[in-house]
Structure 1
Amino acid sequence: RDGAAAQAVTALESLPADVRARASIAAMLGLAYCLRYADDDRDPVWLARAEQHAEAALGADDQLAHAWVARAWTLEYRGDAEAAEAAYGTALSLDPNDPFALHGLGRLLRSRNRFEEAEQVVARGLAAHPNDRRFWDDLGTLRYRRADYIAAADAFRHSIALKPDSIYAYANLSAVLLRLGRDDEALSVIQQGLRIRPHSRLYNNLGTTLYARGRYEEAAAAFRAALSDGRGSPNDYLKWANLADALRWLPEREQEARAAYARALALLEPSLHTEQPDATRHGRAALYAARLGRRDEALRFLGQAQSVAGDDADFRFRAVLTSEALGDRESSLEHLEAAIELGYPQHLVESDPDLVLLRRDLRYHLIVSRSGS
């Protein structure tokens, strides 16, 4: 359940030192610290602790699958995808059904846009652990990334049925419903999640839904809640960027918007220095740099993202926004056609305030008409 990572850390840290030194406990602590890091804190202290305990677990017993999983998770969060994949492989050779290894490997492959391989791993996870909501969330997220929104919604609803008190599936389902143009349902699902407990992902999705409706003041308030110390995640670059998006459309808030974009890019920057680019992170960095007028940076990040993006509709739409911000209409139209062909929802293109001028271009209407024919 949500909040379990913090409880697990507290319980494990309270064990005697000699018990914590055991390989199995050290590995569990490594995983728990990774979960704390990922669960909206994004505090590098948690990741450093995870690395320390993962290495201690391997030093104590390198035949323990969980020790390799702990190492894989830390490597993945550090952005070393190749080393993480190798560590997942070792873990699964020791325990082919380890749920942490299968969940982590599927997540890693999905983040690298290796969707077919991710499908196979998620299928393995569901076969071995059909009642583990994480694999239904993984399946839903994979369907979402591939623009199969009906199937994604079904998977997230199954996750909620298995764990009605898990807010992650509510957040995920609301995002899918927005893509399907079912905004009222999305808002209702967000409120269901908030009745369970406040969470930054829910506030972020609330802001995103309000933004799509043109309610920018309310969207900014929701994004601020997503960033707040008590109930949000102030170290999450995406939420700073979303706040910046909303502030741009409010009177006399341009400087605040620029500061928020700069904060987003600063938080994102350490994860950009990887051997292989990441389509999502580098694509977002390109957009934020473009918003800040850093043309050379934006073009460099965009090229890096495109080199690995493959059939990623979200990347293509983000590239439309980036190209428009850079004044490159030809590239905007090229990315738009690809995004629509890959299943990006047309109603979100039509409602985006940054694309007003693009929508006045005759070529935009030709692209839209071809997609509907």
Structure 2
Amino acid sequence: RVGPHLWRARQEARALDYFQQAVAARPSDAQIYRLLGYHHWLRGELPQAIEAFVTATLLQPEDSRLWSSLGGLYLAQGDSAQAGRAFSMSLSIEPNAGALTNLGAMKFDSGEYAVAAGLFQQATVLEPDDYLHWGNLADALAASPDTAAQAQVPYRRAAQLAQRYVDVRRDDAYALALLSWYRANLGERARALQDLQRARKLGTQPAEVALWCAQTLTLLDDRQGARSCVASALKEGVPQQRIDALLSLQRFAAAGGAAHRQ
């Protein structure tokens, strides 16, 4: 019998082979490169994902979504200058929630929480059923003592939408890790740990899962577990500056959410 890790490795190798065949057959198809980039992102291969999306934007420069996704990848790599240029290009084509929320993430990382909240709010208007936008809005509100009390409503909405999503996509480790974070902020410790365990067990998107694992376990006062997840995130290539920016939220969330965890 083939073990699960070997089976997954074979499936990934087969998928990559199919992508190479598709590129050879249709080298000018931007959407093939988009899917290839997403495949690399799921495997935590940021440089390869960026390369694929750069090619996609060259082939289809009028697609705002491609520019927004490329900016998000640059941001995950810690290259805020390139990320900002990609987001600006995306928004110059048309207003879109992806670029707004990614630009908001940049503002959040630089400590401009009110500006970030405004951008995330715009994203929720454009795409009200996307749990990511509501979760981002909640994080930005929770990050400032002046607005921390307002974060519970968007956290609850984010958790509802994320649960609806993972009920269908049970293999999305990133969504499960985020759902765990939302539940932790809502004071649902047991469910948060259960979702986090499911996310880590899947073994996919290891960098993002480790990052949100660190966030969640810090909030739940598991310092040793959080340190282990930080080490895993760094090992998977998450930039130190991104870890610092996200984890700085903890002192605000802990203060603002203490009452509902008692």
Interval containing the TM-score (normalised by the shorter chain): 0.7 to 0.9
Q: Is the 1:147–1:344 Cα contact (8 Å) retained in structure 2? A: no
Cα shift at 1:159: 0.7
Q: Is the 8 A contact 2:44 2:205 kept in 1?
A: no
CA distance in structure 2 between the aligned counterparts of 1:276 and 1:216, rounded to whole angstroms: 32
Are the aligned partners of 2:142 and 2:249 in contact in 1 as well (CA < 8 Å)? no
AA aligned to 1:322 is T
| 1:142 maps to which of 28, 33, 39 | 39
**Partner of residue 22 from structure 2, selected from 112, 125, 130:** 125
CA contact (8 A) 1:311 1:342 kept: no
Name structure 1 gaps, 5 residues minimum: 1-109, 358-373
Which of residues 197, 218, 221 in structure 2 aligns to 1:324? 218
Instruction: Kindly provide the CA deviation profile for residues 322-358 of structure 1, in whole angstroms up to 9, marking residues without a partner as x.
Output: 111111112112222222112122221123213679x
Instruction: Indicate the residue corresponding to 1:82 in structure 2.
Output: none
Distance change (3 Å), C-alpha of 1:154 and 1:271: closer
SS for the counterpart of 1:131 is coil
Whole-Å separation in 1 of the counterparts to 2:119 and 2:170: 34
Question: How large is the RMSD of aligned CA atoms in angstroms?
Answer: 2.2
With over 3 angstroms needed to count, the CA separation of the structure-2 counterparts of 1:356 and 1:337, relative to structure 1, is farther
Match of 1:313 among 180, 204, 207: 207
**Residue aligned with 1:334, SS:** helix
Higher relative contact order (CA 8 A, sep 6+): 2
Listed as ranges, the matches of 1:160-309 within 5 Å are: 160-228=57-125, 232-273=126-167, 276-309=170-203
Question: Looking at CA atoms only, which structure, 1 or 2, has the larger radius of gyration?
Answer: 1
- TM (norm. structure 1) is 0.60
Distance 2:127 2:97 in 1: 6
Change (3 A) 1:271 1:144: closer
Matches within 5 A, 1:335-350: 335-350=229-244
Give 1:204's aligned amino acid. Answer: T
Letter in 2 for 1:314: E
Separation of aligned partners in 1, 2:119 and 2:239: 23
Opposite residue 323 of structure 1, the aligned amino acid is: L
In 1, the alpha carbon distance for the partners of 2:122 and 2:251 equals: 29
**d(CA) in 2 for partners of 1:283, 1:137:** 24
Task: Write the distance in 2 (CA, Å) between the matches of 1:159 and 1:275.
Answer: 26
The Cα offsets for residues 16-36 of structure 1, whole Å up to 9 and x where unpaired, read as: xxxxxxxxxxxxxxxxxxxxx
Structure 1 CA distance, aligned partners of 2:50 and 2:229? Answer: 26
Residue 117 of structure 1: how far off its partner (Å): 4.2
Note the residue ranges of structure 2 that are not aligned, 5 or more in a row: 1-7, 253-262
Q: 1:278 to 1:225 in 2, by over 3 A?
A: same
Q: Give runs of aligned pairs for residues 18-97 of structure 1, distance below 5 A.
A: none
SS in 1 for 2:151: helix
Q: 2:5 — aligned with what?
A: none
Decide whether aligned partners of structure 1 residues 121 and 283 sit closer, same or farther in structure 2, where only a CA change above 3 A counts. farther
Q: Give the Å deviation of 1:135.
A: 1.3
> How far apart, in 2, do the equivalents of 1:290 and 1:219 lie?
22
Distance 2:188 2:13 in 1: 35
Cα separation, partners in 2 of 1:344 and 1:145, compared to 1, 3 Å = farther
For residue 276 of structure 1, report the CA deviation from its aligned partner: 4.7
How many aligned residue pairs are there?
242
- Which segment is superposed worse, 117-126 or 155-164? 117-126
Aligned mate of 2:53, from 156, 162, 168: 156
Q: Secondary structure at the match of 2:66?
A: helix
Instruction: Give, in whole Å, the separation in 2 of the partners of 1:330 and 1:120.
Output: 40
Q: TM-score if structure 2 supplies the norm length?
A: 0.84
Pair 191,275 (structure 1): closer, same or farther in 2 beyond 3 Å:
closer
Q: Contact between 1:349 and 1:355, CA under 8 Å: does it hold in 2? A: no
Aligned identity (percent) is 28
Structure 2: how far apart are the matches of 1:347 and 1:331? 20
Q: C-alpha distance in 1, partners of 2:97/2:124?
A: 7
Distance in 1 (alpha carbons) for counterparts of 2:245 and 2:147: 21
